[in-house]
Amino acid sequence: MIATVTLNPALDQHVEVDNLVLDDTNRWVSFKRQPGGKGINVSRVLRELGGETVAYGFIGGHAGDDIERLLKEEGVHTDFTRIKTEIRSNFIITDLKTHRQTRISAPGPRVTPGEFKKLLDRITGLKPRPQYIIFAGSVPPGVPYYIYRELIDRMKVLGIRTVLDAADMWLIEGIHARPDIIKPNVREAQTLLGVELKTEEDIICAVKTIVGMGVGIAAISRGPDGMIIADGNVILKVVPPQVEVMSTVGAGDSTVAGLVFKLSEGGSLEEASRLAVAAGTAATLTPGTELCHKEDVERLLPLVKVEKMPN
Ligand SMILES: Nc1ncnc2c1ncn2[C@@H]1O[C@H](COP(=O)(O)OP(=O)(O)OP(=O)(O)O)[C@@H](O)[C@H]1O
Ligand SMILES: [Mg+2]
């Protein structure tokens, strides 16, 4: 089983309009609400790929009820910790004429120390113990910024493999606990290391540096160029085929799901990387906040190129 933890989930409200006019009334062509937040997305993709998963995290208010219901409809198991405040809603407006996407994100509700402790107890007491636990996304106000470091430390004691997909201070702090896997994009990796990553050589150097910091597997994703990934033994450059992109929302989350799913099945780093990139690229084929479809992942899988790089 693969557990995911989303401390800052969101109800994604996605509107499509035919030609967005500012300062005026627009009519929507379509309106969709979907469960959002990085860990939740990873669980949804794991489910799509046929994996077993439970989504943990905070949930509250009507938006929270909607997320739980929508996930249930998709067959995703959840075990959320209730908070008193309503969780955030994110708004996404896609202009069908220009294909431009405007996203408006909220910071998230304030979590009380009591609610925070409840979640901590729930996660440390997980039964049955998952094989992997994935911590993903931002941290809401009221939760200490070093939360991922603390959670990863506690999971490692229990022998659970840990994955961290977060940005900024949450990643910088969390990496001190030496998670088994991290998957920043280039921008996040630059902030983590405090250097610019302009060339392929820079990124290769970066994954090696991160592994040198005690992380088991470092994967840096690079949009249409795929991903460079390293463990202590090999460095792989993984490149997807060129595709017509509809929306890149959730591409990175699909990548994480593909990677961890294959590893949990006992796959090699090469097999897992191939599935990761196929899933990430498959997510770009779907509109709005929709994630990848299994058929697309399977179709793309043999088209992903994996090249071993010199150490
Ligand atoms: N334009 C694209 N064309 C093809 N594949 C893409 C494109 N953008 C993203 N991908 C696929 O998705 C993967 C992850 O993308 P990216 O590096 O943008 O992740 P991210 O920034 O972490 O995304 P997220 O916003 O979901 O966290 C890439 O490795 C690639 O497989
Ligand atoms: Mg990401």
The residue-averaged pLDDT of 157-185 equals 97
- Return the CATH architecture of domain 180-311: 3-Layer(aba) Sandwich (3.40)
**Cα–chain center distance at 172:** 17
Q: Is the CB of 255 under 6 A from ligand 1?
A: yes
- CB-based neighbours (< 5 A) of ligand 2, an ion: 252
Which tokens sit at 218?
């470092």
Q: Is the CB of 34 under 6 A from ligand 1?
A: no
DSSP state of 26: -
Question: What one-letter code names the amino acid at 204?
Answer: I
Residues in the chain: 311
Q: What is the pLDDT of residues 221-232, one digit of tens each?
A: 999 999 999 999
Q: What is the pLDDT of residues 96-106, one digit of tens each?
A: 999 888 989 88
Helix and strand totals (H; E) in the chain = 10, 15
User: Is the pLDDT confidence value at 296 over 90?
Assistant: yes
Q: Which of 3, 128, 127, 124 is nearest to 54 (CA)?
A: 3
pLDDT at 126: 87
pLDDT at 45: 98
pLDDT at 259: 98
Record the pTM.
0.95
By alpha-carbon position, which residue is closest to atom 1 of ligand 1? Answer: 224
pLDDT at 290: 86
pLDDT at 288: 78
* Averaged pLDDT of the chain: 96
Sequence ranges of the domains in the chain: 1-21+28-178, 180-311
pLDDT at 289: 82
pLDDT at 127: 84
* 1-21+28-178: CATH topology: UDP-N-acetylmuramoyl-L-alanine:D-glutamate ligase (3.40.1190)
The residue-averaged pLDDT of 28-55 equals 96
Give the number of other CB atoms < 10 A from CB of residue 134. 31
Cβ-contact 50, 79 below 8 angstroms? no
Please, where are the H alpha helices in 75-185? 113-124, 147-157, 168-174
126 against 172, higher pLDDT: 172
pLDDT at 247: 85
Neighbouring-strand partners of residue 15? 31, 93
Cβ-contact 134, 163 below 8 angstroms? yes
Give the number of other CB atoms < 10 A from CB of residue 85. 18
By alpha-carbon position, which residue is closest to atom 23 of ligand 1? Answer: 252
pLDDT at 287: 84
Q: Which atom of ligand 1 is nearest to the CA of 222?
A: 17
**pLDDT class of 303 with cuts at 50, 70, 90:** very high
Specify the range with the lowest mean pLDDT, choosing from 38-42, 144-148, 187-191, 247-251. 247-251
User: Is the pLDDT confidence value at 128 over 90?
Assistant: no
Q: Is the CB of 63 under 6 A from ligand 1?
A: no
CA of 79 to the centre of ligand 2 (A): 23
CA of 57 to the centre of ligand 1 (A): 24
Distance between CA atoms of 302 and 309, rounded to whole angstroms?
Answer: 20
Domains 1-21+28-178 and 180-311 are alike in CATH topology: yes
pLDDT at 99: 84
Phi and psi torsions of 34, nearest 5°: -135, 150
Q: Is the CB of 41 under 6 A from ligand 1?
A: no
User: Is the pLDDT confidence value at 135 over 90?
Assistant: yes
Q: What is the pLDDT of residues 222-274, one digit of tens each?
A: 999 999 999 999 999 999 999 999 888 899 999 999 999 999 999 999 999 99
Phi and psi torsions of 83, nearest 5°: -120, 165
**pLDDT class of 29 with cuts at 50, 70, 90:** very high
Sign of the alpha-carbon torsion through 56, 57, 58, 63:
negative
